[in-house]
Amino acid sequence: MANKFLYPQNSATRQVVDLSGMWKFAFDFESEGDAKDYKNGIPEGIMLPVPASFADFFTEKQYKEYTGDFWYETSFYADGAWADRDVDIRFYAAAHVAEVYFNGEKVAYHHGGFLPFTVNINKLLKYGEPNRIVVKLNNELSHTTLPCGEFKTLKNGRKLTTPYFDFFNYAGLIRPVKLVITPKNSIVDITVNHRTEGTTAYTDYTVETVGKGEIQVEVFDENRQKVACVTGNSGTVEIKNAHLWQPRNAYLYTFEFTLTKNDTVYDKYSLDIGIRTVKVEGNRILINGSPVYFKGFGKHEDSAVSGRGFNLPFIKLDFELMKWIGANSFRTSHYPYSEEIYQLADREGFLVIDELPAVGMLVSTRNAVDAATAAKIKPFFEEEIVQTVTLKNHLNTLEECIQRDKNHASVVAWSLLNEPDTTGSEKAVNYFKTLFDRCAELDVQKRPRSFAHIIASQPDKCMCTHLTDFVMLNRYYGWYLLSGYEIEDGFKRLDEELSKWDKTGKPVMFTEYGTDALQGLTRLPAIQWTENYQEEFLEGYHKVFDKHACVMGEQIWNFADFQTTEGILRVDGNKKGIFTRERNPKSTAFNLKKRWDSLPTDYKGNK
């Protein structure tokens, strides 16, 4: 298998070695790294931490805003015990395009900065001397990258990134890099799917292996009592009186997969699995056959200093704050998150809309405004390169995302694009259909599929809504348009639009709505950018939501303030957070907590 997506774990048969730490780092302003043989070692460089984004470690603008090639290097010694095992390097995420050199040889190329890839190094591994890893990365944006954008060259020769999205283009080795040592005969992939009949649960499974052998599956409950045992590389596990995984009431079984041959154990791998079903019925999404009202946020992997870098303390804190405020869901806007976030969502019972990094498919360097005001722009999907190269990259990313996240109980829906141009060209339809069909083929659990609609994507104008299983709306009436003294007209416009969506019969999820608010800023009467304006905005939206049966979820933009490209519309980033970037609550958080604590899980489920 070219790429191994199972999350690395230490066990009696497996070993994981963390290569995190200080790596040698160099910018390549003149694009001379290839000619100067950086693959065999960076001649001059500084030390930077991995995992992390590089931008916020510097005080000079040319480094913080750097666009182009840049290089990382580290080395390690191999254990002699690995000689008869498979040794892979696993990059949990390398943003955005990576070339990997091991002991001077190119061993991998990967496009896409938010999903893992592995490199087998058996043939090049040295014992008794250092092994060198060199990674060449590039963070330039184009119409073929995910996310999308462009860059331009300034008069001083430096490149400037101009994204088609409203968050900072953080890059680097943003997640861990680890060595994964496994047996030659090993388990390389597991797929599960669930169904229930009364109180009995059935989990269909398939295990892919390297080398011959037989799989035994043992299932343990949370008290470590064995509840099932079957054999075979594929089959069905039956669990009587099963505890189902429920929103904010998670239950995880431990499935232990053992690969044996002639009574010899070659490999073991365990998965914590929540048993749950998901489907769309009428204007509701059902979890285990019951309607669920989604309460939560769009989020970002974003924190000071480390940027988009892997940050376990913030991951833990974010979940505690979401539990405190009464949320039960979030969207991984606008890219797949670190795997540890999904694992914690499984354990805490959060519903996740898993989103691909297909953001910026709208030709605009002021996307936040143009997307909300439905400005006339050049159709994105008319370009031939989009229909070929971009689509190929998009499909590959889709496959990687589903392969990585398919077994998570928390992942209950896929978002295949964020705010794309769906009204400018008929060519968008074939592009979208290819994506949606492929998603259905890949996902054995057949989770609902959708994309986040910009304001131009109205029910009578969007060419692609018919492909969705539910509707995701990003709406900013009262902020980017009809704002300030016109806010009441904004609420009326929202009400009118939802009356049209009601008629489609599809579930509607609000995946973005909100206003910028500076913590501590208040005025009477409320004005834009104040905390009390943010409160009035949300109260007005929620009154409209409560009127319409089609609305089955509300995910506010955003959970916390986050960094963006600088500009006159942003004061050190986007301030739409209910919490600050440091995760302190704004006044809105306390009113929101009252609302969400009062709404039952099946709110509006019988309408």
Give catalytic residues, as residue numbers.
419, 512
CB 551 within 8 A of CB 604: yes
323: left (phi over 0), alpha (psi -120 to 50) or beta: alpha
What is the amino acid identity at position 160? L
8 Å CB contact between 268 and 13: yes
DSSP 83-117: GGSEEEEEES--BSEEEEEETTEEEEEEE-SSS-E
Determine contact, residues 135/70, Cβ cutoff 8 Å: no
CB 519 within 8 A of CB 527: no
Burial class of 323 by CB neighbour count within 10 A (0 to 12, 13 to 18, 19+): middle
- Helix/strand/coil (H, E, C) string of 286-347? EECCEECCEEEEECCCCECCCECCCCHHHHHHHHHHHHHHCCCEEECCCCCCCHHHHHHHHH
DSSP state of 562: B
Site of tokens 């949990």: 92
Residue 281: CB partners within 8 Å, gap ≥ 6?
Answer: none
Rg of the chain (C-alpha set): 24
Residues present in the chain in total? 607
Count Cβ neighbours within 10 Å for each residue of 122-159 and write b for 16 or more, e otherwise: eeeeeeeeebbbbbbbbbbbebbbbbbbbbeeeeeeeb
As a whole number of angstroms, the distance between CA 302 and CA 50 comes to 16
Distance CA 320, CA 206 (A): 35
Query: Which residues are CB-contacts of 336 (< 8 A; sequence separation ≥ 6)?
Result: 114, 115, 354, 355, 356, 357, 401, 404, 405
CA 509/CA 467 separation, integer angstroms = 15
